[in-house]
């Protein structure tokens, strides 16, 4: 029987992943955990426990006591929050991820899924059509901890046979749970301001292009990777994925087709420094070849769908 542990399950990705996993495996097969209590009960009524991944004993106990077979490790401090508190980012992203990897390996977990990020890239990485294996010398604490998670995953796979898998997510656009403090959050913020007919002050420059993806494709991809035969995977966490790339000016232009009076002004801050060291476009061909990555939503479809759903969420439909 499958029993899946999700760490950091109350975040932008976890709060939506839990619904898909509960539908597929049944709610009694999922254990949601996070360092904080949920603000509202999850719609699937899945069991929830507090778990701080920086505590190695707690990680091991929860895996052992609940008969966990598979783990989605989503607990993380994202890029912008990591620059505000690098010590905490190291504790959660490095120590916490080590605790999860080590517990998964020694307790015989079937599959451990850990999302990585375009934050592993840095100023020396090429900016366009970036392949999976390239220069990964980031300058943020977030990036440093995520490169170390990639390397640790390869180490535990090669040394101990741990089946650990992941994708390098680009910026993820979604409407259900607000993004926490990443560098690509502006994209989601813009929709909320537009739908409320508020002017938006963008913290990136109008021409800063980044790879992005809509949440349904982000979740579908993670599940597809989860299902892939181990023998088809050539990388552990180093699979680049993205659906399209755009800059704030292009997103503004597309949203304005739906909200005619929308206005944006630009006041770049420290997040511009982070974003300008990340790639503009990614080569996703290895993910397509090895486990069938194929996103469905185009840029235009994502924008239309977001407008409809943000209006619904805000009761403005
Ligand atoms: N959202 C994106 O755009 C994006 C892009 C690239 C990669 N990723 C990766 O995807 C994964 C999930 O990201 P997300 O967007 O859902 O993040 P998020 O910040 O929305 O959620 C992370 C969750 O981790 C929890 N957490 C923090 N410290 C913890 C601790 N000590 N123990 C347990 N839980 C703790 C938080 O409470 C939060 O609910 C991360 O590994 C992130 O690096 C996300």
From 78, 89, 121, 187, give the residue whose CB has the most ligand 1 atoms within 8 Å, as the site to mutate: 78
| pLDDT digits 0-9 by tens, 120-156 | 999 999 999 999 999 999 999 999 999 999 999 999 9
Q: Does residue 94 line the site of ligand 1, with CB under 6 A? A: no
Shared domain for 226 and 266, answered yes or no, is no
Q: Does residue 11 line the site of ligand 1, with CB under 6 A? A: yes
| Lowest model confidence (mean pLDDT) among 34-43, 75-84, 186-195 | 34-43
* Structural domain for 35, as ranges: 4-170+213-240
d(CA 166, CA 21): 17
**For 240, how many CA atoms within 13 A lie in the half-sphere containing its CB?**
25
CATH code, 268: 3.90.25
Quickly state the pLDDT bin for 265 (edges 50, 70, 90).
Answer: very high
Distance 288 CA to ligand 1 centre (A): 25
Q: Which residues contact 184 (CB under 8 A, 6 or more apart)?
A: 170, 171, 172, 210, 212, 275
- pTM for the model stands at 0.97
For residue 302 the two structure tokens come to 């994502």
Shared domain for 80 and 162, answered yes or no, is yes
CATH code, 231: 3.40.50.720
The predicted structure's pLDDT at residue 215? 98
Shared domain for 68 and 87, answered yes or no, is yes
Quickly state the pLDDT bin for 42 (edges 50, 70, 90).
Answer: confident
Q: Does residue 34 line the site of ligand 1, with CB under 6 A? A: yes
Q: Does residue 49 line the site of ligand 1, with CB under 6 A? A: no
Q: Is residue 274 part of a domain?
A: yes
Distance 261 CA to ligand 1 centre (A): 34
Average pLDDT over residues 297-307: 98
Q: Does residue 59 line the site of ligand 1, with CB under 6 A? A: no
Residue 228 scores a pLDDT above 80 = yes
Distance 214 CA to ligand 1 centre (A): 16
Provide the terminal-to-terminal Cα distance of the chain, rounded to the nearest Å. Answer: 42
Quickly state the pLDDT bin for 181 (edges 50, 70, 90).
Answer: confident
Q: Does residue 12 line the site of ligand 1, with CB under 6 A? A: yes
Distance 118 CA to ligand 1 centre (A): 14
Q: Is residue 100 part of a domain?
A: yes
Q: Is residue 291 part of a domain?
A: no
Residue 293 scores a pLDDT above 80 = yes
Q: Which of 142, 186, 239, 252 is catalytic?
A: 142
Closest by Cα among 47, 153, 146 to 100: 153
Shared domain for 16 and 148, answered yes or no, is yes
State yes or no: is 200 an active-site residue.
Answer: no
Shared domain for 15 and 154, answered yes or no, is yes
For residue 261 the two structure tokens come to 């009076």
> If you search the block for the tokens 């403005």, which residue do you land on?
316
Shared domain for 198 and 56, answered yes or no, is no
Closest by Cα among 316, 237, 247, 315 to 281: 247
Q: Is residue 35 part of a domain?
A: yes
Q: Count the Cβ atoms, other than its own, within 10 Å of residue 256.
A: 14
d(CA 214, CA 172): 6
Average pLDDT over residues 91-113: 98
Shared domain for 108 and 249, answered yes or no, is no
Q: Is residue 68 part of a domain?
A: yes
Domain count, the chain: 2
Q: Is residue 293 part of a domain?
A: no
Q: Is residue 285 part of a domain?
A: no
Q: Is residue 290 part of a domain?
A: no
Shared domain for 269 and 141, answered yes or no, is no
Shared domain for 224 and 194, answered yes or no, is no
The predicted structure's pLDDT at residue 239? 98
Q: Whose CA is nearest to atom 19 of ligand 1?
A: 180
Distance 281 CA to ligand 1 centre (A): 23
| Percentage with pLDDT > 70 across the chain | 100
| pLDDT digits 0-9 by tens, 233-255 | 999 999 999 999 999 999 999 99
Tell me the average pLDDT of the chain. Answer: 96
Shared domain for 225 and 191, answered yes or no, is no
Shared domain for 92 and 208, answered yes or no, is no
The predicted structure's pLDDT at residue 144? 98
Shared domain for 226 and 147, answered yes or no, is yes
């Amino acid at each position: 029987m499958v029993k899946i542990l999700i760490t950091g399950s109350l975040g932008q990705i976890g709060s939506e992943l839990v619904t898909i996993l509960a539908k597929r495996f049944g709610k009694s097969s999922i254990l949601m955990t996070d360092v904080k209590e949920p603000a509202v009960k999850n719609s699937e009524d899945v069991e929830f426990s507090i778990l701080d991944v920086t505590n190695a004993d707690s990680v091991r106990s929860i895996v052992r006591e609940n008969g966990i077979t598979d783990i989605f490790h989503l607990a993380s401090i994202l890029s912008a929050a990591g620059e505000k508190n690098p010590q905490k980012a190291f504790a959660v992203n490095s120590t916490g991820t080590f605790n999860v990897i080590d517990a998964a390996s020694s307790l015989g977990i079937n599959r451990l899924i850990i999302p990585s990020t375009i934050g592993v890239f840095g100023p020396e990485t090429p900016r366009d059509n970036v392949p999976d294996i390239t220069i990964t010398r980031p300058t943020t604490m977030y990036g440093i901890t995520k490169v170390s998670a990639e390397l640790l995953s390869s180490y535990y796979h090669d040394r101990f046979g741990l089946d650990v898998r992941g994708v390098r997510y680009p910026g993820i656009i979604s409407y259900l749970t607000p993004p926490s403090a990443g560098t690509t959050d502006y994209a989601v913020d813009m929709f909320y301001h537009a739908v409320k007919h508020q002017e938006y002050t963008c913290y990136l420059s109008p021409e800063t292009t980044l790879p992005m993806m809509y949440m349904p494709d982000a979740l579908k991809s993670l599940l597809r990777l989860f299902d892939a035969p181990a023998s088809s995977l050539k990388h552990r966490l180093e699979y680049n994925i993205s659906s399209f790339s755009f800059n704030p000016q292009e997103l503004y232009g597309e949203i304005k087709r739906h909200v005619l009076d929308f206005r944006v002004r630009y006041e770049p801050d420290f997040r511009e420094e982070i974003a300008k060291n990340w790639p503009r476009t990614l080569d996703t061909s290895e993910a397509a070849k090895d486990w069938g990555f194929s996103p469905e939503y185009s840029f235009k479809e994502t924008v239309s769908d977001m407008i409809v759903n943000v209006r619904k969420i805000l009761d403005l439909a």
